Each structure stands twice: as C-alpha cells, then as structure tokens.
Amino acid sequence: MRIESVDLFYLAMPHITDEVDGSQDTLLVRVRAGRWEGWGECEAAPLPCIAAYCCPSSHGVCKPVKTAVEGAVLDTPEDIRRINAEVRRLGLDLLQTDHTLSGIDVALWDLLARAREVPVYQLLGDRVAYPKLPYASMLLGNTPEETFEKARAICVDGFRAAKFGWGPLGKGTVDEDVAHVRAAREGLGKEGILLIDAGVVWGDDPAPAIARAQRLREFRLTWLEEPFRSESLDAYRTLTDLHPELPLAAGEGANNFALARDLVRRGGVRYLQIDAGRIGGITTAHQARLLAESEGITYVNHTFTSNLALSASLQPYVGVERFRLAEYPTEPKPLARDLTVEKIVPDANGLISVPDAPGLGLVPNLDIVRQYLVPVRIVAGGRLLYKTPEV
Amino acid sequence: MRIESVDLFYLAMPHITDEVDGSQDTLLVRVRAGRWEGWGECEAAPLPCIAAYCCPSSHGVCKPVKTAVEGAVLDTPEDIRRINAEVRRLGLDLLQTDHTLSGIDVALWDLLARAREVPVYQLLGDRVAYPKLPYASMLLGNTPEETFEKARAICVDGFRAAKFGWGPLGKGTVDEDVAHVRAAREGLGKEGILLIDAGVVWGDDPAPAIARAQRLREFRLTWLEEPFRSESLDAYRTLTDLHPELPLAAGEGANNFALARDLVRRGGVRYLQIDAGRIGGITTAHQARLLAESEGITYVNHTFTSNLALSASLQPYVGVERFRLAEYPTEPKPLARDLTVEKIVPDANGLISVPDAPGLGLVPNLDIVRQYLVPVRIVAGGRLLYKTPEV
C-alpha cells in the first residue's frame, strides 16, 4: 500500500501555564494507507512541527518532511525505516525535522501493526511484553512540605516509585535542594524508588551538580536525571567520573540516535530515557533500546503526556524483561488525560502493560480532539500550505 | 534602549531547485531599538523559523523565540549574550530555536555596533581585522570534465583556493570519486589549496570514507569536509585515528556550541567551520572561535549565501591572524548575489576583508527584498500570529 494522507492536529489546553508540563498541548498525527489508519504524537511544539511538514523546499537537503512521506510505499517495517532515514537525509538542514518525523513514524508503526493485526512490539520482533513498574512522574512542590505531601499521596495511590523534578530545584542553595530531596524520601518511605529530575538546571556546568552529589548520597537515589542539557556530554562525563555512585539518567532531549548513543558512551549515562515522540519515532527509539542492551545500561521511556504517547514509548522496550521501570504520567492536564478512551492503568500488582491489541492498542477520542483543536492556517506566497483537516 | 520590533522576511528565488545550494532562499531579520536598526539572516528553512518565533507557548521551556527578545534591554554586548542564553533556556524543547535565534543574534550585534559606531569585530574585543584568503566555494560538476572546467575557471578568476563538494561525490565508486578529485586538482594546479566537501554523504558510517582516504593522499587536500553528519562523533574519531594525515573539517551543521566543541575534542576535527546564521548567531560563533584558539585548531567561516551573511560569519574571527582562510561563495543565486548593494570582493592581493564600517558594514537592498519577498500569514485558534511586515 501507499501512504495516502498525513493529517496533523494541533491540540491545546485553553490556557497554557509556565509549568514545565508538556501535557498542555500536543501535535496529533493521523496517517492513512490502504484501508488502515494509524495515530501518533509529536512531543514537541506543534506549530513549528506543522511548518516543518508543509514548508516549501529550501534546497536539496532542506526539504519539508512531507517530501519523503506522502505517497511512499508502506508494506513492511523496512519501509518505515527507509522513510525515517529518507526524511532525515532530505531534512539535514531543517532543524525541526526530527520532532515532526517522530509523530509520523509512530503513526506508521501503529498503522502497519494494525494491518498485520499484531501489537507494535511484535512487529519490532519481540514475542512477549513484560509488565513494567510504573514510577509516578511529578513536578516538585514549591516547598519541601508540598513535595512531602505529594510523595505521601503517591504512596497512598499504590506507587512504589516516584520522580520529582523541575520547579525550585537548583535555583536556590544546596541546603534548599537537599531539603526537597529529603522531603521526597520521607514522603515516599525507605523502600520507595526515588528519582530526582534536575531539569537541565545547570546547563553545561558540572560544578553545582558536584556540590550536591555528596549530600544526595544518603537519600539513595536510583538516578539523578538531566543535571545538564543533552548536548553537554563533557559535563555528564565529569560528574560520572567524580561520582560513579550517583547514576545519571538522560535522553529525553535526544532528537536522534547519535546523541542518545553519545550520552551513554561518552557521557556515562546509566539510564537512557527515550521519548518516541521526540527521538525520531519508534524506529529510532528501538535502535536506542538495542544500544542499551548491548551497552549493559538501562532503557526507560520518557512520557509526560497521553496514554497514546505512553504506549508509543513503551512498545520499543516492553520485550526486555530486565528494563523494569516505566515513567507513568500522574498529573496530566485534561487534554492528555482524556485523549484516549482506553487507559493504561496499574494492575493488581501495581504494574503496567501495553494493551494486548493491534498497533498501539488505543486510539484518540475524536470528541476530545475536536474539543481541544486549534485550527491552523498557513499561507505563503499566495499558496495555502496548511489548513487543519477535518477530524 | 529596548528592542522595539523584530521583523522576519522570507525571501526566495521563484524556482527552487534540488541542488544543495542554500542561496536559493533566506530568512532576513530586521531588529529595531532606539533610533537604530540591525540586520541578520538565518541560514535555515524560513517558514519553520518564523513558526518558532511566533508560535504559542507549549510549556515553561518550550516557548517561542520572541519571548526572550521583544522588549528586552539592549545596551551592551552582555545584554546580547543574556538574550541569547535566555532564548535557549526557554526554547529547550523547541528544536528549531537555535536557527531562528541565529539571525536575530546577528541583527542585535549589527544594531549595537552601529549604535557604537564600530564594526562588529571591535565590539567583540578585536582591534584589528586581518584580511583572509578566500576560497571559492562550489558544487562539484556532474562529470570530472565539468569539475576540471570549474576549477580552471576559478583559477582564471584569480582564486588560489577552491572547494568542491556535494553532487556525485560518494554516490558512485571509489574510482569515480577519485576521478573527480583528480580533475579538481588538475584544474586548480599544483599550488592551489584544494578542499573537498563530502556533504555528509556517508552519514554515520566511517567505512566508505576509510576506503577513500588512502587514495586521496596524492591530491594533497587541505581538508576533507563533512564525510559524516555533525552528530556522528564516533565516525569522525574513527577516521581521524586511522588517517591522521587527512585533516577533517566540519561544523556547519552545528546548531550550538557544545556540538562544535565535541566535533573538535571528541571527533578530532581540525578545521571548525561555523555559520553564524546557524550556530546561534555571532555570540555563539565567537565562543567557537575562542575554542579554536585554545584548542590549537583552525576556525573558518561557513557561508554559501549573501555578503550580509558573509560579513556576519567573518566578524567573529577576523581578529585572529593565523586563521587565514575564508569561505567565499562564488555561485550564489541572484537573490543572494544582489541582496546587498555593497560587496565584499577580493582586493589586488586576492584577499577579502570585512567592511571598514559600523556594524556588519552592509545593508540589504530593499528593492531586492521586495522583489523576492514571500508574504506569509499564519493563523492559529483564530489569532493572527504572523503576517509579513512592511519592508
């Protein structure tokens, strides 16, 4: 079959806050081929992604994403991999390319797996989907007391693992940061798996992270996440070398395989966190999972948004039993919370699994899509380049 | 003073070809503050850059570029550096950010240097602007004969250095590639400085480059440029380690300082090619030039477009005498060729210099801007986000 249409839907909450909460909007992608339909999401700024999809060509390797997608043959996983590589080749000089590609690639896997009537992970070559231990993914409270209450509440909800991040962390003194981490540990209890997300607060500078590393030891973090920007490999390496006892996690900012690989090989990252909606789709996420296996480090999804995005980011690694943890968004905005009818929820053992159904196993609720739709219209040089399609 | 307006103009040739020729369109930036005006260019896809400038916020660190620019204080170079850093912080999750920032940052330096009545390089702290030896930058011919004729013609024009790239290179056999390089060397003569640009044709795979390295030795290349994509640090390192006699050049794909640094420190690149219109502007280009000085490698501009872009990419390093070479576009399309009234042309000694005038030393010809203008209109959620302003 051939790809007949790619439709991009910009969805957003009516009011966007300054929280670092990616669930406030999304770019939903629908692909149609043959009599099939697949869905995906870009975990990215919707409007620049739309522009990268439909813009006029600038030159031979600065072409819009659509060039290698529309009309392409889609019969096998190899076709998806070929489309993925061709989009990247033709979009070499178009920076936004990888983010736009991500949602499309996810939708292609969903579509092809539906056509084959298998879950995506089976199309990727895995036979079994292992349940994962979900960690509740939350922003830090504004005060240690708030953080403590959030941690307590999450325990009551049955979670055995939780991540706290962003907010005040790294913006005040070392003592203030330690107070937040202590509050999180006390709220979570001794046995809970505690993860701290520094939200790239130290940019490219290892010094503030080094100043805190020793103090964090007593709280037994499973990982410290993103002390630095993804491209700051030297800073990761410096911190790893000085504090090998503090495992680092990163990867959500990786928009290609090479950056994920360098975070592991050169930065010394031990938990590789991949968002299929950003790294280039399920194709590239699966490459990163194979890397994590061969390097002996741990792969984990990055997901802060909908259950559709959660399924897309779980599929590439559910087949590996030893990758036990999964990020599980617990505070998504109504848009992300309600986007799918079906939900991925913890079972009686507190574990989550991908749906036992073809493709990603869940689809968007079209009423919700219509409710949050932001209609977009782009005209350049008198040509209508993009108009939000019918839902 | 405060930044009062930022205007983005999408200019394009009426017909865009599939050549890898970035001079076919541009995003021109005009910034106004006080009674001053500054100009810059993004060497990037115009429409996605516009979208990254004006899109609605997605969350706390996925904000449009305008957030940290409009209304900002602009009195000193430190103000520009602060704006640059703030754009990057707030645009962490918006991939296109660096490309949009680049043209704006260039315009800010132009504006501030005009207000101070000094050339940009002096505002950067350099006292003297050294003339540079321009190398003619051209695409390879379709056949070795064509390449030979191009090389001959460029000698007749008085160039002592030339770069040939893209086109057929790496797409056929080793022998075919060698035939092209031989033709270029023969056309250029024994004494000419010969540079070959592989145009990232081998992606992430060092093997085809290794297969050619030995054969290239007899042609005494000053550098082999971009055998791989910018993020493929391992491939650069492998080729460098196996063939230390073949100097590698890269950096035009770098959209931030960290990537440029890693190409040098981890990839072993010996010629760092920076486009101010892509790496994050003159601020970031100057950081890369300081790196090249401290690492003992060679900095060189990347410019394939207008003389305005050429001045912007020369200013960060004209103050360093030992960085002798400069890329000089010799085949720009009429849009890029005619964009400025003033031109940067080789002097009697065959050398080029930045204009001895405030700012970048040249301004766009507004008749040419109007001639090639692509009017753009973007509406989202019923709000007009962008409409091409009056020239």
Categorize the per-residue pLDDT at A286 as very low, low, confident or very high, splitting at 50, 70 and 90: very high
Rounded to the nearest angstrom, the minimum Cα separation between A259 and chain B is 7
Q: Dig out the tokens for B148 from the structure.
A: 């030979």
**Distance in angstroms (rounded) separating the CA atoms of residues B205 and B234:** 9
* A132 DSSP β-pair partners: A352
DSSP state letters, A51-103: HHHHPPP-STT---GGGGTTT-B-SSHHHHHHHHHHHHHHTTT-TTHHHHHHH
Is the confidence at residue A137, as pLDDT, over 90? no
Strand duo A133-139 + B325-329: pairing: unpaired
Query: What ipTM does the predicted assembly reach?
Result: 0.96
Q: What is the DSSP letter of A189?
A: -
Q: How far is B43 from chain A (nearest CA, A)?
A: 9
Q: Where are the alpha helices (DSSP H) in B117-205?
A: 120-123, 144-156, 174-188
Whether residue A162 is predicted with pLDDT greater than 90 in this model: the reply is yes
Q: What pLDDT does A331 receive?
A: 85
Predicted pLDDT at B26 = 98
Question: Which among B234, B229, B273 is positioned nearest to B250, based on CA atoms?
Answer: B273
For the entire predicted model, the pTM comes to: 0.97
Is the pLDDT at A138 greater than 90? The verdict is: no
- Note the pLDDT of residue A176: 94
Report how many Cβ contacts below 8 Å link chain A to chain B: 210
Q: What is the pLDDT of residues B203-259, one digit of tens each?
A: 999 999 999 999 999 999 999 999 999 999 999 999 999 999 999 999 999 999 999
DSSP state of A389: P
pLDDT at A152: 95
pLDDT given at position A5: 98
CA pair distance B347, B340, nearest whole angstrom: 18
How many angstroms separate the CA of residue B9 from the nearest CA in chain A? 11
Is the distance from CB of A335 to CB of A372 less than 8 angstroms? yes
Position B166 scores a pLDDT of: 84
Distance CA A281, CA B155 (A): 48
Residue from B8, B53, B62 to probe the interface with A (highest A Cβ count within 10 Å): B62
Q: In this complex, do A259 and B231 lie within 8 Å of one another by their Cβ atoms? A: yes
A262 chain-B contacts, CB cut-off 8 A: 231, 233-234, 262, 266
* Predicted local confidence at residue A166, as pLDDT: 83
Determine the residue of chain B that is closest to A232 in CA distance.
B258
Cα-based angle A225, A230, A235 (whole degrees, multiple of 5): 80
Q: Mind listing the pLDDT tens digit for each residue in A29-80?
A: 999 999 999 999 999 999 999 999 999 999 999 999 999 999 999 999 999 9
pLDDT at A188: 95
Decide if B40 contacts B68 (C-beta within 8 A): no
Please answer yes or no on whether A20 and B52 come within 8 Å at the CB atom: no
Determine which of A50, A93, A305 to mutate to test the interface with B (most B C-beta atoms within 10 Å): A93
Of B45, B98, B199, the CB nearest to A62: B45
**How many other CB atoms are found less than 10 A from the CB of residue A331?**
16
Which whole number is the average pLDDT over A139-149?
Answer: 94
> Among partner residues A16, A51, A381, which is closest to B48 by beta-carbon distance?
A51
Convert the pLDDT of each residue in B131-160 to its tens digit: 999 999 888 999 999 999 999 999 999 999
Is the pLDDT score of B167 beyond 90? Answer: no
Token pair for B285: 């280009």
pLDDT at B33: 98
**Cβ atoms of A167 and A388 closer than 8 Å:** no
Sheet holding B133-139, edge to edge: B298-301, B271-274, B248-250, B221-225, B193-197, B161-165, B133-139, B325-329
Q: Is the pLDDT of residue A311 over 90?
A: yes
Q: How far is CA B170 from CA A277, B143, B200, in A?
A: 32, 13, 9
Most B-contacting residue of A59, A92, A234 (CB-CB within 10 A), to test interface: A59
pLDDT of residue B51: 98
- CA angle, residues B252, B255, B259, in degrees to nearest 5: 85
Q: What is the mean pLDDT of chain A?
A: 96
Contact B314, B124 (CB under 8 A): no
Q: Which of B59, B64, B253 sits opposite A19 (nearest CB)?
A: B59
Domains of chain B: 3-119+365-387 (3.30.390.10), 123-338 (3.20.20.120)
Using alpha carbons, select from B337, B271, B320, B276 the residue that is nearest to residue B300.
B271
Residue closest to B173 by CA, chosen among B206, B140, B215, B111: B215
Give the count of beta carbons closer than 10 Å to the beta carbon of residue B213: 18
Distances (CA, A) of A116 to A122, A162, A355: 10, 36, 16
Residue of chain A whose alpha carbon sits nearest to that of B95: A96
* Of residues B172 and B121, more confidently modeled: B121
Q: How far is B384 from chain A (nearest CA, A)?
A: 10
What is the rounded average pLDDT of the residues A206-233?
95
The one-letter amino acid at A301: N
Q: How confident is the model at residue A139 (pLDDT cuts 50, 70, 90)?
A: confident
User: CA dihedral defined by B128, B304, B65, B229, rounded to 10 degrees?
Assistant: -110
